[in-house]
Amino acid sequence: MPTITLPDGSQRTFDAPITTGGVAADIGAGLAKAALGARVDGILVGLDHLIDSDAEVAIITPPRGKDPCSDDALRLIRHSAAHVMAEAVQAVYPDAMLVYGPPVENGFYYDIALPEGVSISTDDFERIELHMNEIIKADRPFTRCDMDLSSGMKRLQGEGSKYKIDNAERAIDGGAETLSWYTTGTPDENWDDLCGGPHVPSTGHIGAAKVMTVAASYWHGDASSDHLTRLYGTAFPDKKRLASHLEQLEEARKRDHRVIGRKLGLFKIDDMVGQGLVLWTPAGAIVRQELQDFISAELTRQGYQQVFTPHIGKLELFRTSGHFPYYQDSQYPPIVDPDAMSMLVEEGCNCADLSNKLQEGDLDGYLLKSMNCPMHIRIYTSEPRSYRDLPVRLAEFGTVYRYEQSGELGGMLRVRGFTQDDAHIFCTETQLQDEMSGCLELVQIIFQTLGIESFDIRVGLRDPDSAKYVGDPSNWDRAEVACKAAADTLGTPWKAETGEAAFYGPKIDFIVKDAIGRSWQLGTVQVDYNLPERFDLSYVGSDNTTHRPIMIHRAPFGSLERFIGFLIEHFAGAFPTWLAPEQVRVLPVSEKSAEYASTVHAALVESGRRTTLDDSNERLQSRIRIAAERRIPYLLIVGPRDAEAGTVSVRVRGIERDLGATPLNDFVEALNAEVSGRRDCVVKQLFPSADQNHDSASEAAPESVPGP
């Protein structure tokens, strides 16, 4: 006699066990027809799920009208579509072995083991989709079949797929009591797959599916294991939603920092210079310099001291820090002294010998620094330190080089040479908490000033089972407690993740998403008990004995490359006035106003603004268009009327119409206030009508980045 409680609180009692589909039918025939699945006591199930005791039940349906599709509905549809795609792939490649096919954030994938020499190319997508669409059109029911563990395993062994056997073993390890198969259609007649479910009732409920992309993957994510082909697809309840998803992807690509970076001349990555090495062009250099100035002022306020250190250092330095040879694979090779090199050549020394000598320390060389900490540590040790000196806070915009795998590089978000807004704090145990809070405050100031509202905070802890971490476990425990406590002071929820710590200590990271939905770490604060040991750091305490300081590594931007790459996408190129490479452009209506225009321009230059005068031989409309595409915050259009009255006619980015004339001095004053306050609204206040008829669609909406 199960009693079912529905989401609205209403209850229905049945005198026998009933399926979720039965519950839906009991509520209404229309609902039963539309239903995709259900949640029973919070667990996602299919419509064939039998309820035999009291339960809370929510029926999952496709969205109505323009409502957004629920995550549950998408999950059911996409997992089902993964089966349909797998069947289609096996129709096209009969020898393909299936591995694993889950729904993911924006669709689903299926990992496939293809026979030697066979590959799926994008040209095959159409054929695969053709099969998929046939299966969807046939509206075949998903039929579940359970087998007890031993006969299920026997069946799998008979079929001979080590991948499916592995999946079954994992399911059993996870507590599965039976093994289940889902047939897409009639059992023993149609295609089936080992699967825990749930699925939509029939393939027809997958409204629209598409194969998106193909990539390589590794079995169990292990590069030394089998190499698999991962086919990505996506699915939606209807064609319209699929189309709008594809459209959103297209839109997101338009705000890709690589696209905007080129359009606005912000940076260039040049083949001839090298992969992952950024050239900061003049406009981008301004943005970078402004950000540096901004954070520098905060650092001064917080008692940091600025230092400069070289780009290379002796191997011995990095041996002591432990970075060499531990991270050798991701470093540019060492630079060897020319005389030593010639001697080695005379001795007939080969590459392997050279590498050995470098590793053993028989030969010294220099390494491009991949981090600044060893250098800052040597500044710390350059004089004796007393507890009265602590905390010592050494800051540097330090450029480091890491030889990242070529396939990992991308625009400014992952590069091989980058500048960290780095600092190292040397402090006592009792100062640790406050210092960490100070570091987190810096990140918050940055995010607030730039209007970055959607980010995740991750506290990276060590994985106790991994050998990757160095140092004393009790130190680790203290450091992890300190990190969590500091994260608590943020007043924003954070997530602890084991295995995400640096090898020398736990950390707090700030994670954001780029235009196409990928996650990137920006700011970071890391506690380190390890390097102070390795470098034997000390200070003299009030008890006149030596003590070991603790180090904090922190970079609130992370790196200027990645941060600005992200920022370009965040603002879609429409930087706030204080960051904008060009803040205001003066456009004379015609040559007749050229003289007044240059007076206006000169006044802006005089007040320290970044400005240009566009008196080119183009029509006004054309010059406005060019300036608007450059995302310049303010355009001053001046003609005879303005010259007469001493005014400027203002056009504001994002409003895109004439807001009317204002005295030049008022404009300059407001603009200066806006820039010096790092605000984005002072000039607008001159124009009470600015917020009316605001065409908001044309202004960048930073937080409404559509996901893929």
Separation CA 582–CA 290 (nearest Å):
12
The dihedral of CA 180, 184, 185, 186: what is its sign?
Answer: negative
Closest separation between CB of residue 32 and RNA, Å?
A: 37
Contact partners, residue 679, CB within 8 Å, separation at least 6: 576, 673
69 catalytic per annotation: no
Specify the residue, 170 or 625, whose C-beta has the smaller distance to RNA: 625
Query: Which ranges of 306-372 does DSSP label H, i.e. alpha helix?
Result: 315-321, 338-346, 351-360
Residue whose C-alpha is closest to residue 235's, from 344, 317, 129:
129
Closest separation between CB of residue 217 and RNA, Å?
A: 4
Q: Is 447 helix (H, G, I), strand (E, B) or coil?
A: helix
Separation CA 500–CA 420 (nearest Å):
20
Specify the residue, 33 or 253, whose C-beta has the smaller distance to RNA: 253
Separation CA 264–CA 200 (nearest Å):
47
Catalytic residue among 507, 562, 585, 630: 507
Strand (E) or helix (H) holding 174 = none
Catalytic residue among 402, 458, 601, 631: 402
The rounded Cα 73 to chain-centroid distance in angstroms is 26
Closest separation between CB of residue 277 and RNA, Å?
A: 9
601 catalytic per annotation: no
553 catalytic per annotation: yes
Closest separation between CB of residue 484 and RNA, Å?
A: 19
Residue 114, phi then psi, degrees to nearest 5: -95, 150
Closest separation between CB of residue 636 and RNA, Å?
A: 8
364 catalytic per annotation: no
Q: What type of residue sits at position 73?
A: A
Write out the two tokens for 79.
């997992």
Write out the two tokens for 295.
């954070």
The rounded Cα 153 to chain-centroid distance in angstroms is 41
* 3-class SS string, 89-146: HHHHCCCCEEEECCEECCEEEEEEECCCCCCCCHHHHHHHHHHHHHHHHHCCEEEEEE
Beta strands 456-461; 495-498: pairing state: parallel
Specify the residue, 432 or 527, whose C-beta has the smaller distance to RNA: 527
Specify the residue, 100 or 181, whose C-beta has the smaller distance to RNA: 100
Closest separation between CB of residue 620 and RNA, Å?
A: 5
Specify the residue, 201 or 556, whose C-beta has the smaller distance to RNA: 556
DSSP for residue 643:
H
Determine contact, residues 59/227, Cβ cutoff 8 Å.
no
Closest separation between CB of residue 708 and RNA, Å?
A: 7
Specify the residue, 51 or 589, whose C-beta has the smaller distance to RNA: 589
Separation CA 466–CA 502 (nearest Å):
12
Given phi > 0 = left and psi -120 to 50 = alpha, else beta, which region is 610? beta
Specify the residue, 356 or 698, whose C-beta has the smaller distance to RNA: 698
Separation CA 236–CA 232 (nearest Å):
14
422 catalytic per annotation: yes
Separation CA 371–CA 170 (nearest Å):
41
554 catalytic per annotation: no
Catalytic residue among 331, 420, 431, 583: 420
Write out the two tokens for 347.
């001795």
Given phi > 0 = left and psi -120 to 50 = alpha, else beta, which region is 220? left
Q: What type of residue sits at position 55?
A: A
Specify the residue, 183 or 649, whose C-beta has the smaller distance to RNA: 649
Catalytic residue among 192, 421, 422, 514: 422
416 catalytic per annotation: no
Separation CA 377–CA 392 (nearest Å):
11
Catalytic residue among 78, 195, 230, 373: 373
Closest separation between CB of residue 303 and RNA, Å?
A: 24
Separation CA 633–CA 205 (nearest Å):
48
Specify the residue, 164 or 553, whose C-beta has the smaller distance to RNA: 553
Closest separation between CB of residue 300 and RNA, Å?
A: 25
Catalytic residue among 230, 414, 424, 651: 424
Q: Which residues are catalytic?
A: 373, 402, 420, 422, 424, 507, 553
